[in-house]
Amino acid sequence: MIYDLIIIGAGPAGLTASIYASRYKINHAVIGEVPGGLISEAHNVCNFPGEIEISGFDLMTKIQTHAQKLGAEIMTMEKISKIEQKDDNFNLITESKKILETKNILLATGTKRRQLNLPEEKKYLGKGLAYCATCDAMFYKNKIVGVVGGGNSALTSALYLSEVAEKVYLIVKGSEFNGEMVWVEHVLNNKKIEVIFDNGVEKLNGENKLESIDLSVDYQNNNNLKLDGLFVEIGTEPDKLLIEQLGLITDKNYIVVDKEQKTNRSGVWAAGDITTNSAGFRQVITACSEGAVATFSIFSELQKHK
Ligand SMILES: Cc1cc2nc3c(=O)[nH]c(=O)nc-3n(C[C@H](O)[C@H](O)[C@H](O)COP(=O)(O)OP(=O)(O)OC[C@H]3O[C@@H](n4cnc5c(N)ncnc54)[C@H](O)[C@@H]3O)c2cc1C
């Protein structure tokens, strides 16, 4: 069986693309490692039209159900590890060694979380070090935690953790936040959150689990901060694996696409957080929008070759 389109990624961009593909009757499948994508980790989404307040997980369950109701074949928990050209088509090879053949590809693989790049990071992962407050906050009931970062993810994570933990240190690299004002105000008015500006994490310490961190600059005459947990919320970046295999043109690792979401390679489109479009405003709504535009463009292309 040869698909007309395989969408790689089951986040907002990929699933929206699938909704449009089903409506256009494009023979397609969605393959995504994490069902719902990155937003499934968000505790609260308050900027998606029609949803005043919803968890990222609930929002994505709704969008996935919508795609499935329209008949989409969605394979989650599957990772594409290799893409090869096969005549005019592509072979997509999964980690479990399944091979899927398709005429066209939509890359909607989003981004992955940035790490601190400290040598001890692996040692403490799951032992005090975490990358997702929504997933792990409950382990820090009445404990002292830190959050690293100054954007929306860090601000919302600090707020969520403040509902559970006894105290939250928010460690910000610069002298100001770069998130939405509404979150900044909530953080600054929250008595459980103590903001440490112009600082960073230099070292993680602890016998078998994280017990303290060394800050890069002294804070209150001491560079050692005792805490039970540290949440790293310093943004995300694209995974280069498939981009490099396909030889796609990038700008700062993001795929360069035209206004129809076409990449430099024939038969390959890209949508969502992984692209340079939407003025770099990487949100659910812009990912959905790019997914819709991409499918419209793919449909037009398929019509030409009928
Ligand atoms: C903590 C947090 C809070 C956020 N809050 C908001 C918010 O309130 N409002 C908002 O609009 N945005 C928010 N965002 C941003 C939002 O999550 C992203 O803009 C959005 O998820 C991008 O969607 P996407 O489909 O492009 O990529 P993603 O959601 O990242 O989905 C990518 C998909 O591709 C899959 N994938 C990747 N590589 C492969 C591979 N090789 N093979 C198979 N599958 C693969 C992934 O598993 C996943 O299914 C938040 C982000 C974070 C981290």
Closest CA to 132 of 205, 223, 31, 34: 34
pLDDT for the residue 111? 96
Phi-psi region of 206 (alpha: psi -120 to 50; beta: other; left: phi over 0): left
Is 100 near ligand 1, meaning CB less than 6 Å away? no
Expressed in angstroms and rounded, the spacing between residue 109 Cα and the centre of ligand 1 is 8
pLDDT for the residue 120? 92
Is 199 near ligand 1, meaning CB less than 6 Å away? no
pLDDT for the residue 188? 98
How many whole angstroms separate alpha carbon 178 and alpha carbon 305? 46
How many whole angstroms separate alpha carbon 238 and alpha carbon 124? 24
Is the Cβ–Cβ distance between 256 and 276 less than 8 Å? Answer: yes
Is 238 near ligand 1, meaning CB less than 6 Å away? no
pLDDT for the residue 44? 85
Q: What does residue 241 show for φ and ψ, rounded to 5 degrees? A: -50, -60
Expressed in angstroms and rounded, the spacing between residue 82 Cα and the centre of ligand 1 is 21
Q: Which residue has the tokens 């805490």?
A: 227
Q: Could you list the pLDDT tens digit for every one of the 306 residues in the chain?
A: 999 999 999 999 999 999 999 999 999 999 999 999 999 988 889 899 999 999 999 999 999 999 999 999 999 999 999 999 999 999 999 999 999 999 999 999 999 999 999 999 999 999 999 999 988 999 999 999 999 999 999 999 999 999 999 999 999 999 999 999 999 999 999 999 999 999 999 999 999 999 999 999 999 999 999 999 999 999 999 999 999 999 999 999 999 999 999 999 999 999 999 999 999 999 999 999 999 999 999 999 999 988
Q: Among 16, 18, 39, which is best to mutate for testing ligand 1, by the most ligand atoms less than 8 A from CB?
A: 39
pTM summary value = 0.90
pLDDT for the residue 273? 97
pLDDT for the residue 186? 98
How many whole angstroms separate alpha carbon 135 and alpha carbon 155? 16
How many whole angstroms separate alpha carbon 197 and alpha carbon 216? 11
pLDDT for the residue 305? 86
Expressed in angstroms and rounded, the spacing between residue 224 Cα and the centre of ligand 1 is 34
- Atom in ligand 1 nearest the alpha carbon of residue 80: 42
Expressed in angstroms and rounded, the spacing between residue 157 Cα and the centre of ligand 1 is 16
pLDDT for the residue 241? 94
Which residue lies with its CA nearest to atom 50 of ligand 1? 39
Expressed in angstroms and rounded, the spacing between residue 13 Cα and the centre of ligand 1 is 8
pLDDT for the residue 306? 80
How many whole angstroms separate alpha carbon 125 and alpha carbon 172? 21
